[in-house]
């Protein structure tokens, strides 16, 4: 059954986003959860909107850019001046690609937001189109997407604009149209994307970000 506000009935989205913890039925074993889940009401239809999903801090509780920098530069410190030059000359995508090509990691060992990932799998089973949409380098993003196995496509940073914030919003609007997609994200940069989305899903957001978007959120995952 669903427990919402301690009264057993979900709140209307007109009043607030759906914030419902999932309790097992008496005959079921309790699932292993990493935290409190925020789920749609029982029987709620899956949206026809394609859903664009952020990677770092949303699907995974890891920052792939930080992992790339720390692991690659630790054994190749001579790349640091070159990376800083690219960063401050506005060519972040170039160092992301170069370092991403040298990053050796196992997607299975990343830390995932398990409850959100289970919800995504339910959406996929219901026929929804899922797009992994991230500022991480394409090669890194595609490797993770292949491991997860539910995404229909990947939008990621190539050797062009860094796909974050306004750049990500512009790319999604160009592909799907204004309000023609749902978006799940977690960070301050996602505040530039959510206003263009027809469905707002907030995942693992810090309090300062959550306060700015929760009034417009359809779903919130801790």
Please tell me whether residues 133 and 178 are part of one structural domain.
yes
Residue-wise pLDDT tens digits, 79-93:
666 567 656 666 555
pLDDT at 106: 80
Q: Catalogue the long-range contacts made by 98-102 (C-beta closer than 8 Å, 24 or more residues apart).
A: 99/68, 99/69, 99/72, 99/73, 99/137, 100/68, 100/136, 100/137, 100/139, 100/140, 101/139, 102/72, 102/76
- Residue ranges, the chain, pLDDT below 50: 1-16, 19-43
172 in the same domain as 89: no
Residues 10 and 80 grouped into a single domain: no
The pTM of the whole model exceeds 0.85: no
- 31 and 117: one domain? yes
pLDDT of residue 194: 98
pLDDT value of residue 149? 97
Co-location of 133 and 202 in the same domain: yes
Domain span holding position 70: 65-102
């Amino acid at each position: 059954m669903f427990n919402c506000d301690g009264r057993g009935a979900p709140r209307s989205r007109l009043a607030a986003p759906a914030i419902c913890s999932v309790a097992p039925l008496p005959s079921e074993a309790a699932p292993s959860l990493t935290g409190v889940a925020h789920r749609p009401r029982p029987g709620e239809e899956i949206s026809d909107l394609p859903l664009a999903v952020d990677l770092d801090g949303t699907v995974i509780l890891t920052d792939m850019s930080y992992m790339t920098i720390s692991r690659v530069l630790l054994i190749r410190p001579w790349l640091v001046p070159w990376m800083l030059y690219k960063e401050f000359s506005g060519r972040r995508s170039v160092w992301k690609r170069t370092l991403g090509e040298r990053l050796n990691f196992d997607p299975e060992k990343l830390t995932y937001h398990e409850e959100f990932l289970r919800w995504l799998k339910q959406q996929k089973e219901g026929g929804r189109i899922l797009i992994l949409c991230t500022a991480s380098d394409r090669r890194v993003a595609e490797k993770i997407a292949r491991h997860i196995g539910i995404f229909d496509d990947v939008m990621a940073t190539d050797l062009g604009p860094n796909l974050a914030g306004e750049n990500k919003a512009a790319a999604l609007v160009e592909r799907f149209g204004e309000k023609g997609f749902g978006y799940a994200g977690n960070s301050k940069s996602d505040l530039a994307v959510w206003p263009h989305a027809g469905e707002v899903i907030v995942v693992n957001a810090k309090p300062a970000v959550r306060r700015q978007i929760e009034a417009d959120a359809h779903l919130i995952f801790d």
